[in-house]
Amino acid sequence: MKELTPYLLLTHIKVNGNPFMKSPAIEIKNLTKTYRASKKSPAKLALKGVDLTIPRGSIFGLLGPNGAGKSTMINILAGLVVKSAGSAKICGYDIDTQTRQARASIGVVPQEISMDVFFSPYQALENQAGYYGVPKSERRSD
């Protein structure tokens, strides 16, 4: 077994005026993911009914052996992988029904470099801002 890969999940916490203030940072129920079979490999059950609640204000490390499903879980929360079943909320926002708010409430720092090396830092920020629909007047890229 390779060394375990620690992950740190940091969520943005809005304290004032948020109707979901009392909700946990992360609330996962029966989260299940089966990757579809391909020509090369059979279907893979990566997450099997995971229940997990992470309170606000906490620092939480998600540890597990290679292939345990850590990345799958984080990618579902970040909207990068489509779950097969179950539900997940980030700061009280459901990733299915309140997708924009849920995404705005989480930040993921990837393990590997995932930037386009041909972009300048300015271009990279502008590009991301575009994806997230941040109006130009609200951007502070320079």
Ligand X SMILES: Nc1ncnc2c1ncn2[C@@H]1O[C@H](COP(=O)(O)OP(=O)(O)OP(=O)(O)O)[C@@H](O)[C@H]1O
Q: Catalog residues that contact ligand X under the rule CB under 6 A.
A: 5, 35, 44, 46, 64, 66-72
The CA-based angle 34-32-104, given to 5 degrees, is: 110
DSSP lists the bridge partners of residue 31 as 50
The number of C-alpha atoms within 13 Å of 59 and in the hemisphere containing its C-beta is: 3
55 binds, among Mg ion, ligand X, none (CB under 5 to 8 A by kind): none
Considering the complex, what minimum distance in angstroms separates the CB of residue 120 from ligand X? 30
Considering the complex, what minimum distance in angstroms separates the CB of residue 88 from Mg ion? 17
C-alpha closest to that of 32 among 75, 85, 82: 85
66 binds, among Mg ion, ligand X, none (CB under 5 to 8 A by kind): ligand X
The residue number whose beta carbon is nearest to Mg ion equals 71
Q: Report the interface residues with Mg ion, using CB under 5 A.
A: 70-71
Considering the complex, what minimum distance in angstroms separates the CB of residue 70 from Mg ion? 5
C-alpha closest to that of 30 among 48, 49, 46: 49
